[in-house]
Amino acid sequence: MKDLVEKKAANEVETEEGSITIEIVYRGIFQKTLAQRIARSIVLAARKRGHTGTAFGRYGDSPERNGVPAKYFAVVAINELELESSMAKYEPAVVDVSIVVDDTLVKGVESWAWYGRQPIWKPVRSDGFVVVTSEKTPDEVLAQTDAAERPYTLAVVPGLASFAGLWVFKDDHTDYRVLGALARLVPDWVRLEDVQALIREQTKEGSAADSAQHGFDATVVRAVAPGEGTSGHEVLQFDKPGWTTMRPGIIVDARKPGERNPYYKKYGARTLRPVVNFDTCIKCTMCWLDCPDECFEVTAEGHYEVVYEACIGCGICAAVCPVKDCIVMVDEMKFTDNKDTWALWKSDHDAYNRWFEEMAGVPADPKGVAARAADAPVGTPTVSHDAASGGDD
């Protein structure tokens, strides 16, 4: 840890002198082309004033997986010599600017391998910038961001997260707006006129250059002091073993069937999460069967509750559920933890249903089912816990 701090300190001096390092944090596959375009445009715009640069994706992110946080980098330097200190790297330890192209990523990201959930600002230098594309206000974004350890500037670029597939690109001008915002935040490195000149070369659309101007004008900026943000997120760290402490034979602990691996956290990939209406659930098992990540646990009553730490928010459960509005996919930014919700339903139906309606935006009791369910005998499980968690018999 001490080494890392020293390394960071050394890098800070370098970045302030002759180069700037910008990372783009994005959702794997869906936003790859977007991140690549932003990084390349930063370098190509800088060429217009004689600067040089490099752009690269984090090598270990490939092959990318749907929604799993990934990173792309752009480094601009005044000359080749200054650029050398940023070359031949997988991932810069310190960045001046972190661009987050989906606001749910501010809840923390994983590195390519699982080394714990890391605050979104983790590599950002003191007095650096976190740029988030979001329809929310800076305060709302900050409320889901880990409490700051050092001051930075939060900038919100108006717009929804731009999602498309691997082979297509959603040309909604997100990249142009982000480039415009950068021109406002780090004008010494990214100039609006260079960005707009580049855009005019690349596209015949006049509106694209206007989008850069819009990003420049409409970006909302807020200074963040140390301590500001939430301390509610799970703290997850992982120490890498040394050659004397590793098990020989490239072996890591696994789990017996039916046990959950405490290291297997996938929620960093989530933009939407399923919320379940236990009153309208008909216990058909479809969500439990079709979930690709085995997220559902069977309750004593035979309901299926979501283990949110394991859920990537793919939405398959909601798609296969035969009951309307029984499983509803809800914006991840509305939630502050990964706790199971079934316990609340069990202890207080009314409180749970109010919460469900607030989150899901649909009625909890469309046909008075809850009232009938409340009359039903309690404590007669229809599916035994053991049998259900045991496998596919």
Partner 1 sequence: MTTITSDIPRHGAPENANEVETEQLATGCEAIAEAIRLADVDVMAAYPIRPYDGVMQAAAKLIANGKMDVEYIVADGEHSQFEIVKHACAVGSRVFVGSSGVGWFYAFEAIAVTAGLRLPVVAICGNRALDDPGAFGCEHNDALAVRDLGWLLCWAETAQESLDFALTAWKVGEDKRVSLPVAIGLDGAFLTHSQQIVMIPTQAAVNSFLPKFDLGDRLLHPDNPITIAPQVDQDWLMEIRMQNDQAMRNALGVITEAHTEFKRLFGRGGDNPFLDEFMTDDAEIVFLGQGTLSLPMKVAIRRLRKQGHKVGLVRLKWFRPFPTADIVRSLSRFKAVGVIDRDYSFGSPYYGGVLYNEIRSALYSAPKRPVVVGFIAALGGREIEQPMAMEMFEKTMAAASGELTSGDVCHWIGVRK
Chain residues binding partner 1 by CB under 8 A are 60, 90, 112-113, 240-243, 246-257
Amino acid identity, position 244: T
The tokens 């216990």 sit on which residue?
283
Give the nearer residue to partner 1 in terms of CB position, either 242 or 322.
242
Give the nearer residue to partner 1 in terms of CB position, either 41 or 111.
111
- For residues 208 and 368, give the distance between their C-alpha atoms in angstroms, rounded to a whole number: 52
Could you tell me the smallest distance in angstroms from the CB atom of residue 114 to partner 1?
10
Give the nearer residue to partner 1 in terms of CB position, either 255 or 372.
255
Report helix, strand or coil for 121: coil
Give the nearer residue to partner 1 in terms of CB position, either 241 or 361.
241
Could you tell me the smallest distance in angstroms from the CB atom of residue 241 to partner 1?
7
Could you tell me the smallest distance in angstroms from the CB atom of residue 121 to partner 1?
22
Could you tell me the smallest distance in angstroms from the CB atom of residue 228 to partner 1?
31
Could you tell me the smallest distance in angstroms from the CB atom of residue 391 to partner 1?
12
Could you tell me the smallest distance in angstroms from the CB atom of residue 70 to partner 1?
14
Number of CB atoms found within 10 A of residue 392's CB: 4
- For residues 232 and 102, give the distance between their C-alpha atoms in angstroms, rounded to a whole number: 20
Could you tell me the smallest distance in angstroms from the CB atom of residue 329 to partner 1?
30
Give the nearer residue to partner 1 in terms of CB position, either 206 or 248.
248
Per DSSP, 176 falls in state H
CB 205 within 8 Å of CB 237: no
Distance of CA 256 to CAs 232, 261, 294, 390, 391, Å?
A: 31, 9, 14, 11, 12
Q: Give 286's contacts (C-beta < 8 A, 6+ positions apart).
A: 317, 320, 321, 322
Give the nearer residue to partner 1 in terms of CB position, either 2 or 247.
247
Give the nearer residue to partner 1 in terms of CB position, either 5 or 250.
250
Give the nearer residue to partner 1 in terms of CB position, either 86 or 133.
86
The tokens 């499980």 sit on which residue?
381
Report helix, strand or coil for 262: coil
- For residues 149 and 120, give the distance between their C-alpha atoms in angstroms, rounded to a whole number: 12
Could you tell me the smallest distance in angstroms from the CB atom of residue 240 to partner 1?
6
Could you tell me the smallest distance in angstroms from the CB atom of residue 72 to partner 1?
18
Report helix, strand or coil for 222: strand
Phi, psi (rounded to 5 degrees) for 49: -110, 15
Distance of CA 53 to CAs 62, 77, 84, 95, 186, Å?
A: 22, 6, 10, 14, 16
Burial category of 339 from C-beta neighbours within 10 Å (exposed 0-12, middle 13-18, buried 19 and up): exposed
Give the nearer residue to partner 1 in terms of CB position, either 3 or 337.
3
